């Protein structure tokens, strides 16, 4: 099966001055990142797209906040990417000024399991 290429995120140009691409596995990781760090209302033609994750960044840490954040992230990933990946687990940590999200998912097309960790300083 040949690798599939999609537009890279964040958008950039390659060495030839053309739109850069990403292989499917990398592109799916980039899509997960887009869903996580896009706030609903940011996208002009898709105002519901995103997770709203960053709105929780300034809340005081608690078990309730951790559960709410985890549920919100998992629901957004399911909504926007369920046709391409199967979410296995989502872990959210909020320590001091860093929000750390680990997503374990399986790529539907290849069956390969991936672990992606993202950090966002607040």
DSSP string, 19-39: B-EEEHHHHHHHHHHHHHHPP
Do 92 and 101 form a contact (C-beta atoms < 8 A)?
A: yes
Spatial separation of the C-alpha atoms in residues 11 and 19, rounded to whole Å: 7
- Identify whether the C-beta of residue 43 lies closer than 8 Å to the C-beta of residue 49: yes
Q: Is the pTM of this model over 0.85?
A: no
Beta bridge partners of 85: 107
Could you tell me the sign of the dihedral formed by the alpha carbons of 20, 106, 101, 82, in that order? positive
> What mean pLDDT, rounded, does the chain reach?
87
Q: How many CA atoms lie within 13 A of 103 on its CB side?
A: 28
Structural domains for the chain: 7-18+27-121 (3.10.450.40)
Inter-residue contact 43 to 50 (CB < 8 Å):
yes
Q: What is the pLDDT of residues 16-58, one digit of tens each?
A: 998 888 888 888 999 999 999 999 999 999 999 999 888 877 7
Residue 78 has pLDDT above 50, yes or no: yes
Using DSSP, state whether 75 is helix, strand or coil.
helix
């Amino acid at each position: 099966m040949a690798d599939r290429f999609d537009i890279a995120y964040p958008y950039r140009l390659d060495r030839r001055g053309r739109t850069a691409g990403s292989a499917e596995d990398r592109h799916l990781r980039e899509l997960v990142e887009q869903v996580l760090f896009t706030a609903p209302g940011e996208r002009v033609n898709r105002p519901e797209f995103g997770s709203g994750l960053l709105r929780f960044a300034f809340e005081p840490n608690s078990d309730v906040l951790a559960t709410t954040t985890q549920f919100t992230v998992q629901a957004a990933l399911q909504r926007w990417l369920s046709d391409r990946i199967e979410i296995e687990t989502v872990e959210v940590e909020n320590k001091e000024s860093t929000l750390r999200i680990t997503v374990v998912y399986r790529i539907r097309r290849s069956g390969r399991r991936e672990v992606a960790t993202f950090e966002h300083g607040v």
